Chain A
């Protein structure tokens, strides 16, 4: 039997570990921000990874450069993300939606290039990234770093578990924040602007300002994704923040269902389950020689993720924009 050599137990263990792991929490938080942007305010943000980077660098630099208290460092991450939002929003939010898309995708890549540049090396440590900020956070870790902590079938090291708890905590708080806001009159205005900006203007709502607020809110939430990631990995690496990452967040959002408040969390778990399963299976197939190296060598297995993400993103957007669990009727209203 061809598949006999596959270690299914290992694959399932890996998959489950990722479903509840740090990455899933980080992606979920970033996608919650994106949900505020696209799902509720209709803002086409193609550079969410830039906000994530700003959060991570804002927090990291607050400690490495200015030696702030960790809580103030978190504030630093929020400030960085806010500045980034203003920088992108001021020129584009009065214009048609696609201008924001163009500027965000460009700006996010620029953030990465600047962070890794040798010119700013004295500040951002270039391609090496920030590695010396984690100390103050470790002091607050209630878990034993060398012990394993389990949730059900999976377990994590104490050092990582701390970040995972923070990550899912932040994700849930962010969901509750968005839920509260979107049921308030503020959320009503934001949704109205998504539906028709002119109508909102004619009803006395300052559409530009509300869009700016939504951009900042979603951006700061994205910044938290960067901070959680940095705490979990004890490093801020510029090349983590590559452009495709934004579209992984998009896929997470669309999998869960655009404009649904829990969608990013569900979407992120599905995403990480799917991707980890496929990649581990692919790796084993190649390692065992079941897929010959003339077709794909081990180094290429990781590229599969981009094909899956790209294709799924496009197909879902066309055929099931309401997400895996969304209802059809709601989309039928969308005559745009």
Chain B
């Protein structure tokens, strides 16, 4: 087991000899992206020439708000279709593959705004994560003996994971009664039920109270240590430092830097990207019209992110009141 507070040593990741530059090739890539471009009404949200994600390590995808991280993430996981570009997963093309097929192939994702299924119990949430369930077929569902034994096995696995994520006491509660942080944990545990090769986490720490952050980070590292590749999106540089073996920086849709965290903070491109963005000036109506036309997609995405966070906060507040 590596030290709890630090990434793997650079040699253990296999990335020791890799140059610290955007689009560099890696020794054992699980995911390879080429020429991926996505525009919203003339505004280019994502424009990535080449990116390889190394197998078995934690890759942090960072960038200032509006850099196109979430759009890129949606493109990778099949939730959005690129205008151009190719992606391979384990060497096979996954262009145009639906998200549910990707999940079955071993690529699962979580969402920035947690998608716990509120009116299902925590254990049912977990069981949904399991793949190839016989009882998920309409006709077999009617013949209970056909799926009963498999369902029990799944339940055992789910209970073990719940215990590991310290959610076992909530097992039979509605997922809607969990706190924001617990939902993040549930979503991660649920994703693990599908026994993925790669797990994509969209801002796993957003809206989580500091006490839970450490526990979440610990879980992420455990995933890597089990051999699962991890990619996560984050805009807070500090979170990235603690856990990522490799950092990819996006700005204005493109990859501007790659390397271990220590090399990233001193990179001039990254400093410019973080300091150069300024997006909170209030707009008046005439500017607004112009702005809608010009920045529509990018600004909208930003606001979506902010709103997601507001929702998260609201939700937590509500739970406090209850």
Contacts and interface: CB of A to CB of B under 8 A. Distances in A.
Interface stretch (A98-106, A204-212, A293-301, A302-310): A204-212
B269 interface: no
A201 interface: yes
B142 A180 contact: yes
Contacts of B99: 198, 201-202
A201 B177 CA distance: 23
Interface stretch (B42-50, B107-115, B228-236): B107-115
Contacts of B101: 204
Contact of B190 (A185, A187, A189, A203): A203
A2 interface: no
B224 to A, nearest CB: 20
A203 B147 CA distance: 19
Interface stretch (B133-141, B209-217, B240-248, B260-268): B133-141
B141 A201 contact: no
A186 interface: yes
Interface in A157-193: 177, 180-181, 184-189, 191-192
Nearest to A335: B118
A239 interface: no
B98 A333 contact: no
Contact of B115 (A180, A181, A185, A199): A199
Contact of B174 (A198, A203, A333): A333
Interface string B170-206: 0000101100000000000011001000000000000
B131 interface: yes
A310 B214 CA distance: 53
Contact of A199 (B117, B137, B144, B194): B117
Given A186-B138, A204-B104, A198 B79 contact: yes
B103 interface: yes
Contact of B136 (A186, A196, A199, A202): A186
Interface residues of A, number: 29
Contacts of A181: 138, 141-142
Contacts of B133: 185
Contacts of A334: 118-119, 176
A181 B139 CA distance: 9
B164 to A, nearest CB: 19
Given A184-B142, A185-B135, A195-B118, A203 B111 contact: no
A290 B199 CA distance: 73
A139 interface: no
Interface string B135-156: 1111001101001000100000
B100 A204 contact: yes
B119 A195 contact: yes
Contacts of B100: 200-207
A203 B124 CA distance: 13
A213 interface: yes
A192 B117 contact: yes
A204 B194 contact: yes
A202 B77 contact: yes
Closest 3 CB pairs of A and B: A185-B135, A204-B103, A333-B176
12 contacts: A177-B142, A181-B138, A181-B142, A186-B135, A198-B99, A199-B117, A201-B100, A202-B99, A202-B109, A204-B100, A204-B131, A207-B100
Given A202-B79, A330-B119, 14 more contacts: A184-B144, A185-B133, A185-B141, A186-B136, A188-B136, A191-B120, A192-B117, A195-B119, A195-B120, A198-B99, A203-B190, A206-B100, A217-B138, A334-B119
Interface of B: 77, 79, 98-101, 103-104, 108-111, 115-120, 124, 127-129, 131, 133-138, 141-142, 144, 147, 151, 174, 176-177, 190-191, 194, 315
Interface of A: 177, 180-181, 184-189, 191-192, 195-196, 198-207, 213, 217, 330, 333-335
